[in-house]
Amino acid sequence: MKSPHMPQPMQVSPLLAQQLVDYLARWPAESGVVQSFLELLGDGQDPFQRERLHGHFTSGAWLVSADGQRILMTHHRKLERWLQLGGHADGERNMAVVALKEAQEESGLPGLTVDGGEIFDLDRHWIPERKDVPGHWHYDVRYVVRAGANEDFVVSEESLELAWRPISEVANDADESMSRMARKWLAGNRS
């Protein structure tokens, strides 16, 4: 039972709480994941700050080409894996805003837009210890970000490399998180 002093998700971030409820309606098989995100959202310690080392919100950008056929992926400098763009909320409670900001900063692409504003995917994953930061959980709230006509990206200091990859290939990626997003995208026939 929750303490009467514990913030409720709707009080902490009504927008994210509603987006999580809407996501659950679209993806009922992911109820366990949604519940863990709602629990974090209702936690008394601010889950939008990276200093909360028991776990905190991050936002990812499923950055698709204008034609919807390719995704821009980063060879992440710290994690040394090919992933979607994204990063920490750092106090921002509108996770779509975070996804867009991170996509802009990490790609250098002009004319990016959040497509629809609804959550595209949720993923809770462990970040290993690094230097003075202990291992911790990222609760990644992912949105579709659409590129404009200009696809000439700029590699930021957070990436070893960036590359446009066909979404049909990403659907077979060994990383379950990446392949799940690709399958969701392909099943939605978005373009």
Residue 191, pLDDT above cutoff 70: no
Under 8 Å between Cβ of 130 and 53: no
Q: How many residues does the chain have?
A: 191
**Least trusted range by pLDDT, from 70-84, 104-118, 137-151:** 70-84
Question: What stretches of the chain adopt beta strand conformation (E)?
Answer: 56-64, 70-76, 82-83, 85-88, 113-114, 121-127, 136-146, 159-166
Residue 161 in tokens: 């490399």
**3-class secondary structure per residue, 129-175:** CECCECCEEEEEEEEEEECCCCCCCCCCCCEEEEEEEEHHHHCCCCC
pTM > 0.85: yes
pLDDT of residue 154: 86
What are the two backbone dihedrals, phi and then psi, of residue 38, each rounded to the nearest 5 degrees? -65, -40
**Least trusted range by pLDDT, from 3-17, 61-75, 136-150:** 3-17
Containing H/E element for 104?
A: helix 95-107
